[in-house]
Structure 1
Amino acid sequence: MAENKGLAEFNKKQLKGSPVTLNARQRIAVGEAIEEVCEYRKWILRAINVRTNHVHILVSIGVESPSKALNSFKAYATRKMREKGFWENNYSPWSNKGSKRYLWNERSIETAANYVENGQGGELPDFD
Structure 2
Amino acid sequence: MSMQDPFAFFITWPTYGTWLPGNDRGWVEYHHGWQLPNRNLESMCTTQMKEKQCLLNPGDREIVVAQVTETCQMRDWTMHAVDCRSNHAHIVVSATKTAPKKIRKDIKAWCTRRLKERSNPHRTNWWAERGSIRYIWNEDSLARVVMYVTEAQDRKGLER
Query: How many angstroms does 1:14 deviate by?
Result: 5.7
CA distance change for structure 1 residues 34 and 102 in 2, over 3 Å: closer, same or farther?
same
Which residue does 2:81 correspond to in 1?
47
Instruction: Give a deviation string over 1:91-123, Cα, whole Å, max 9, x none.
Output: 230000111111110011111111111121258
Distance 1:11 1:109 in 2: 35
Which residue does 2:111 correspond to in 1?
77
Query: How many angstroms does 1:16 deviate by?
Result: 2.6
Percent identity between the two aligned chains: 32
Distance 2:103 2:117 in 1: 21
Greater RCO, 1 or 2 (C-alpha within 8 Å, sep 6+): 2
2:142 counterpart of 1:116: no
Which residue does 2:136 correspond to in 1?
103
CA distance change for structure 1 residues 90 and 21 in 2, over 3 Å: closer, same or farther?
closer
Bigger Rg, structure 1 or 2: 2
Partner SS state of residue 102, structure 1? strand
Matched residue count: 123
Partner SS state of residue 93, structure 2? strand
- Residue identity in the other structure for 2:82: I
TM-score where L is the length of structure 1: 0.84
Distance 2:49 2:94 in 1: 30
Which residue does 1:31 correspond to in 2?
65
Greater fraction of residues in strand = 2
Distance 1:32 1:57 in 2: 12
Cα RMSD, aligned residues only? 2.1
Which ranges of structure 2 fall in alignment gaps of 5 or more residues?
1-23, 26-36
Which residue does 2:14 correspond to in 1?
none
Native 8 Å contact 1:48 1:58 kept in 2: yes
Partner SS state of residue 101, structure 1? strand
Greater fraction of residues in helix = 1
- Residue identity in the other structure for 1:113: V
TM-score where L is the length of structure 2: 0.69
